[in-house]
Structure 1
Amino acid sequence: MNILDKIVEKKIEQIAEEKRQVSIEEMIKRAEGKIIRDFTSAIRDAEGLAIISEIKKASPSQGIIKEDFDPVATAKIYEEQGFDAFSVLTEKHFFLGDDSYIEMVKAVSSKPILRKDFIVDEYQIYQTKAIGGDAILLIASVLKEKLPEYYRKSVELGLHPLVEIHSEKEVAYIEKADPMIIGINNRDLETFTTDVRHTEKILKYLPKDRLVISESGIKGAEDLKYLKSLGVSGALIGESLMRNLKDIKKVF
């Protein structure tokens, strides 16, 4: 069982418990009236390569990334840097995230927020909107044949789905969903190593008119220059930024 399978298994257990605590009917009510910031336009209209800066405390591969983790302070730094959108980890067990971080970050920033979690149940789509998310991560290898349905539901609610793939074979999963924003994850789920050049390998299989985001393993200016040369729309950067919050210029 790879790490993604372990995360999904735990997530299914977690959502079952959350549904017992807050019914889907109640979650639907909580989602009503929430204002959605335009994540898609933030990526499309960015000057040059759009930067989605990630707010996270830990990861399964690296453990604790930021001991003195403060989502609000981090968001303020990212806001000052003028990044185009934020990604906020809400997964509790492996990334030490929390749903409350989204509203905390939204209160001190003007940027659209991607809820970074592992969606396994329709309940979480309503939940994402209810907790203040503007965009939602849908992982093709997790949802498979459910992906088109979850994509449509997300769009119906006004959310902006980012559909993530890891490999060439997963391109088939996204054809029916026909997503506008596609994330290419550069992480090998078996070894958990990253290679930013993985983006180039997968990019050729995707429609040319899509907004493509390169995710994971982006360490600095050279990687960004390389990605820009490929013609991708943006980059999602987490660990490199979190480790250099006091001097982000080290990354760029």
Structure 2
Amino acid sequence: MLDEIVRHKQEQIRSHGKDIMETFQAAEVLPPLREFAEALNVNGRVSLIAEAKKASPVKGRLISETRFDQLPVLYEQNGAKAISVITEERYFEGSPFLIQKVKSRVSLPVLRKDFIIDLRQLYETRLLGADAVLLIAHLLPKDLPLFVETAQQLGIEPVVEVHDRYELEMALDTPTRIIGINNRNLKDFTVDTRVCLELVGLVANKVQCIAESGIRTVEDMLMLEQYGFSAALVGEALVTATDVAAKTGELAWYWKNEE
């Protein structure tokens, strides 16, 4: 599945890459950016990054268009500190223009999640006004430092996603300030929440860590706090919740339930 997604992404870039660069070079003013790193580890707690996600390659459509449009405001009103937006179109039913749509509705910083494999996508990300961008280490085995540095030069916060020790070592060899440890294996889309717990101890304190995938409960959030995570990125548990507002509030303000 991952290879298929990347092939489709390569086709898109071949078709639109030149237009992206021409638009960037012609832009007189770029959208203002919000500080993403400051939204993590607020008051020493694990911040909630709530994901706006329409569909997945495994489960298909997760939420109606009407409910999807309500997500950003519900997330902000109920304690999320940042919003992740999936912009991949064919398999996740996203769109790059969702970045602008979400930022127009909330004051939170926005992370663009996509399959970034070409530097021109970073220039597109800056044009869209995304405050941070996900860089999947597995897809950038040779060029990860270049992509991290280019994102930083553009003013975008790079979040380097890893799934194993080798990818983590790649990430630590870059100047990234944030590493996302994904419990999901992108080769088969299985999830094992032990992955993030095993890898986080190898990360220096100066680098913030985000736990990704498989986080669903207050107990999960408390565990991440014990292991030193700065944030948790949660998608399906929020999107598929019967009451999105209540579930967001539960995970965002989980420490109230410690007593």
Normalised-by-shorter TM-score class:
over 0.9
Q: In the alignment, is residue 119 of structure 1 matched against residue 107 of structure 2?
A: no
The one-letter amino acid paired with 1:144 is P
Q: C-alpha separation between the residues in 1 aligned to 2:88 and 2:43? A: 28
Change (3 A) 1:167 1:154: same
- The code of the aligned residue for 1:6 comes to E
Q: How do 1:161-180 residues align onto structure 2 when only pairs under 5 Å count?
A: 161-180=158-177
Partner of 1:244: 241
Distance 1:23 1:104 in 2: 19
* 2:45 alignment partner AA: G
Q: CA deviation at 1:69?
A: 4.8
AA aligned to 1:206 is: V
What's the counterpart of residue 10 of structure 1? 8
Aligned pair 1:130/2:127, yes or no? yes
Q: Partner of 1:77 in structure 2?
A: 74
Of 197, 202, 207, 2:199 maps to 202
Deviation at 1:207, TM superposition (A): 1.7
How much has 1:9 moved relative to structure 2? 1.4
Conservation of the 8 A alpha-carbon contact between 2:148 and 2:174: yes
- TM-score computed with the length of structure 1 as normaliser: 0.92
Q: What residue ranges of structure 1 are gaps of 5+ in the alignment?
A: none
Letter in 1 for 2:10: I
Q: Quote the Cα distance in structure 2 between the aligned partners of 1:95 and 1:58.
A: 5
Q: Which residue identity does 1:147 align to in structure 2?
A: L
Q: Residue in 2 aligned with 1:29?
A: 26
Within-5 A mapping of 1:90-239: 90-239=87-236
Q: How many pairs does the alignment contain?
A: 249
- Please state whether the residue corresponding to 1:182 is helix, strand or coil: strand
Name the Cα RMSD after superposition: 1.8
More divergent stretch after superposition (209-218 vs 240-249): 240-249
Name the SS for the 2:77 alignment partner.
helix
Task: Compute the displacement of 1:169 (Å).
Answer: 1.4
Structure 2, unaligned runs of 5 or more: 251-259
Using the alignment, how far apart are the partners of 1:78 and 1:137 within structure 2?
20
Distance 1:246-1:185 versus aligned 2 partners, 3 A rule: same
Q: Is the 8 A contact 2:30 2:129 kept in 1?
A: no
Structure 2 residue identity aligned to 1:19: G
Q: Percent identity?
A: 36
Q: Distance in 2 between matches of 1:36 and 1:72?
A: 22
Equivalents in 2 of 1:100, 1:40: separation in Å? Answer: 23
* Conserved? CA contact 1:103–1:131, under 8 Å: yes
Tell me the secondary structure at the aligned position of residue 145 of structure 1.
coil
Q: In 2 relative to 1, CA 46–78 (structure 1 residues): closer, same or farther, beyond 3 Å? A: farther
Distance 1:170 1:10 in 2: 23
Distance in 2 (alpha carbons) for counterparts of 1:181 and 1:193: 23
**Structure 1 residue 189, shift from structure 2 partner:** 2.6
**Secondary structure of the structure 2 residue equivalent to 1:144:** coil
Could you tell me how far apart the structure 1 residues matched to 2:132 and 2:227 are?
24
8 Å contact from structure 1 (residues 199, 214) kept in 2: yes
1:153-181 deviations in Å (ceiling 9; x for gaps): 11011111101001111123223313110
Aligned partner of 1:8: which letter? V
SS of match in other structure, 1:191 = coil
Q: Give how far 1:119 is off.
A: 0.6
Q: Contact 1:138 / 1:163 at 8 angstroms: preserved in 2?
A: yes
8 Å Cα contact 2:75-2:245 kept in structure 1: no
The Cα offsets for residues 111-152 of structure 1, whole Å up to 9 and x where unpaired, read as 000011111111110100111211011111101111111111
